Every structure is written in C-alpha cells, then in structure tokens.
Amino acid sequence: MKARTRTSLAAPALALAGLLAVAGPASADDGTAQGELAPVPLNGVDGGGDAMVWVDGTTLNVEFAATGLLAGSPHAAHLHYGEDAAHQCPSEADDSDGSGTITTTEGVPSYGSVQVSLTTQGDTSPDSALAVDRFDTADGGDIDYQRGSIEVSQDLADSILDGEVALVVHGVDHDGSGAYDGDTESDLDPSLPAEATDPALCGILTASQMDEMPAGGVQTGTGGTAGVEHAGLIAGGGIALLAGAGLTAALAVRRRRADLES
C-alpha cells in the first residue's frame, strides 16, 4: 500500500516535470535584434529609419525602412562588425582627416568592417560590398528592404544578439546636386565618387523581445522568438499545476490514512 502511494505521488510530478521542460525558453541562438537608424554626423543626411534582424541559429532575416536618402539612387547597405570596434555609430570626432565629412573607412573604428552585404539578390558576403546594381534604389528617398535566409557565421549571429553589430546605409549628396558626383574619390573604390559610399544612416542592433518592426513593418523572418515572451507564463503555469498536483496527492494520502485508522 505504501508503494502504491509513492507511485501515485511520483506519476503527476514526473509528468509535470516533462511539461516544464517542454515549456522552457527558446535556444540562446535564436532571437530578434532591432535598431534605430540615425543620420551619420557631418554627412548632410536628414533622414532616419528602423531595422530588425531575426536570428535563427546562423540564418538571418533582415528588414529595414529608411527615409531621407538620395532619391532614384542605389544605396549600399551592410551589417558591420569588428571584434576591436567600439560597437557604436560614428561621431564628429571620427572625421580624422578634417575634411568635414565622415567616410566609410573613418567609421570602421566605431562600427567595424562589412560582414554582410544587404543586396536584393545573389551573394551577401563582403565581396558584394560595392555591388551597386544589386542594392535597393531609394524610391522618393525611401527604402523598404526585406531579405531572408542569409547565412552567417555563429560568431556574427551571436554578436548581433550581443548588441555589437551595426546596420549602415551608404550614399549621400554632399553638394546637393541630386546625384552621386563630385571630384572626391571614394575611399573604397577610386572609380566611384565619395558620395556613393560615404555612410548616410547607422544603427546599432540590440536584442529585442519584439517580433516585428516598431513602425508596423511586415515581418519577413521566421525568427526563433515568437512566443518567447510567454515562456515564463507557461512555465509559471506548469509550476502552479505542479503545486496543485502535490496538494491533491497530499490530501489523498491524508484520506487514505484516515480510512486505515478508522
């Protein structure tokens, strides 16, 4: 009879322990990160935007919306990261040559080098950093970019969720001509004008509990955090069930003892 009592107590506890295990939090390798895009100082951009990245292991889905860019022109955009970088967007102090503008190279100590090229199709590696024909063109000065299934290293995926990666949109209009021109050559490719590659907007991505863009953009990623914000509630419910099961079992034992004594 004692053995039967122990079995009746153990069964619900084991079953609910399994429930708690299932209801645990998602893998640390999954999550979302978001950032606000702000104008890079000194580069004459009056715009902004928002960005979000869904991280699923080593697969990224990326979305960003940007305004205030040079209309009708392509704008290179990248995820930047460097182990020794400051993990921040540039400031006026980064104008190391005193030219009055900030080049992509001058921003590298702040945000790091190109890790992912946010092209609209084809390769997304740093090799496509200047693939002008495969970057979004600003429609009326706006870009609404979405791309999924971008494969990256585990280190970069972790760094995104650690708040160490920047999304940078390039392409400015220093002289107000409405086109990428001017006599200053790009520090990345002398065949291009500096206006085509200088950074326009920058935002540091930080881990987020949100599942879609703050401005209500369409979610394009499969992400691994949908419902994670409810995991604690699920686990809490499991604990409550476990406590209830223990109380029920205890009452059953008391009734059995009372029957035996009588």
Q: What is the mean pLDDT of the chain?
A: 79
What CA–CA distance (Å, rounded) separates 142 from 187?
25
The DSSP secondary-structure symbol of 74 reads B
117-152 pLDDT per residue, tens: 999 999 999 999 999 999 999 999 999 999 999 999
* Long-range contact pairs involving 4-12 (C-beta distance under 8 Å, separation at least 24): 5/253, 5/256, 8/249, 8/252, 9/246, 9/249, 9/253, 12/242, 12/245, 12/248, 12/249
Digit-coded pLDDT (tens) for 61-102: 999 999 999 999 999 999 999 999 999 999 999 999 999 999
CA proximity to 44, closest of 186, 195, 172: 172
pLDDT tens digits for range 96-121: 999 999 999 999 999 999 999 999 99
Percent residues over pLDDT 90 in the chain: 68
Q: What is the pTM of this model?
A: 0.72
The mean pLDDT of 4-20, rounded to a whole number, is 37
Q: How far apart are CA 64 and CA 35, in angstroms?
A: 9
Nearest one of 233, 237, 240 to 25, comparing CA atoms: 233
Check residue 117 and give its pLDDT. 98
Helices (H) and strands (E) in the chain, counts: 5, 8
Residue scoring higher pLDDT (55 or 28): 55
How far is the C-alpha of 218 from the C-alpha of 231, rounded, in Å?
24
Q: How confident is the model at residue 210 (pLDDT cuts 50, 70, 90)?
A: confident
**CB-based contact 159:81 (threshold 8 Å):** yes
pLDDT at 216 over 60: no
